[in-house]
Amino acid sequence: MLFTWFMLAGFIFLFAPQNLTDRFQVAFFRVFQMPLSIGENISLSVRTPRLLSDDTNVVPRREHVKLQNRCADLEAWLRQEHEKLEKLAQLRARLPLEGAALVDAGVLSASFDKLHGELIIDQGRDDGLEKEQFVLADYSIIGRVSSVLSHEARVKLFTNPTSKNIAVNINGTKQFMQGTGDNLAKIPMVRNTVKTDTEIMAARAPGFLDAPMIIGKVVRCERNSESAVLWDIIVKPACDIKHLNSVVVIVMNPQK
């Protein structure tokens, strides 16, 4: 009888609407935020070698990466503005992200293993967030909002194995990038190889992203498994996602 009651409870959770059951998961991460963050810091400090140098002429690596990403974004926007000028656009051009609100959000929990790539952040619908909005860290795209509660939201990283909805510009064409897990993604079935460390820019997405922004860098090129003449371009994030404490969500045309 006890078994039956517990099975019934399990089925109730299984068939309940996900936005309802998500609250339990988010509540757990909120209540145990401190011990979870302590554990994550222990895990990351064990895996990351410590810097021994405190030379004032040395810029911390994260700051260096942040500035590099900012440079790449500005160069992409400059190229875009040049193209507009060449086309002699009739409409008055807007600066990139001019009409957007940038919402700062703290990271409540994160998972980056082979099967997952997700963050839970502490801003939600009441703060203007909606599904599919782009999320930035260190001036680079890291993913899109996948579900929204009143005060929290889930961000699906572009390295998540189920992520297939981020278009990138490669070799002059637009293609969709697929997450492969383990903090990597691939651009499948590309005609030509791309040099290692080449910057990959996320393409414009009307209503969500009005200018290209850096999303990653090329790690290597592999032969496509289905077609020997095509290549899969393996991409890593442009920032250190594993050490993020906060992110920025792009809210285009926010309602005032």
154, 133 in Cβ contact below 8 A?
A: no
Binder of other proteins out of 73, 127, 145, 156 (CB under 8 A): 156
224 binds other proteins (CB under 8 A): no
Give me the residues paired with residue 169 across strands: 174, 201
Q: How far is the CB of 113 from other proteins (least distance, A)?
A: 6
Query: What are the phi and psi torsion angles at 41 (to 5°)?
Result: -65, -40
Of residues 61, 94, 114, 174, which one binds other proteins by CB under 8 A? Answer: 114
CB of 12 or CB of 58, closer to other proteins: 12
Is 25 near other proteins (CB under 8 A)?
Answer: yes
Tokens in use for 107? 């990271």
- Name which position in 98, 113, 197, 226 contacts other proteins (CB under 8 A): 113
Question: Residue 161 Cβ, how far from other proteins at the closest point, in Å?
Answer: 6
DSSP states of 2-45 as a string? HHHHHHHHHHHHHHS-HHHHHHHHHHHHHHTHHHHHHHHHHHHH
Cβ neighbours for 72, distance < 8 A, ≥ 6 positions apart: 199, 201, 214, 238
Q: Least distance from C-beta 32 to other proteins, angstroms?
A: 6
* 176 lies in the site for other proteins, by CB under 8 A: no
Q: Is 123 in the site for other proteins (CB under 8 A)?
A: no
Among 96, 181, 188, 216, binds other proteins (CB under 8 A): 181
Q: What is the DSSP letter of 218?
A: E
Report the residue number, 10 or 254, with the smaller CB distance to other proteins.
Answer: 10
By CB under 8 A, residue 44 contacts other proteins: yes
- Summary count for the chain: helices (H), strands (E): 4, 12
Could you tell me if 170 and 194 are in contact, meaning their C-beta atoms sit under 8 angstroms apart?
yes
Interface with other proteins, residue 154, by CB under 8 A = yes
43 binds other proteins (CB under 8 A): yes
Provide, rounded to whole angstroms, the least separation between the CB of residue 218 and other proteins: 22
Q: Which long-range contacts (CB under 8 A, 24 or more apart) does 112-115 make?
A: 112/157, 112/159, 112/182, 112/183, 112/241, 112/242, 113/181, 113/182, 114/161, 114/181, 114/182, 115/161, 115/181
User: Which residues sit at the interface with other proteins, rule CB under 8 A?
Assistant: 2-3, 6-7, 9-16, 18, 21-22, 24-25, 28-29, 32, 35-40, 42-44, 47, 109-116, 118, 120, 146, 154, 156, 161-162, 181-182, 242
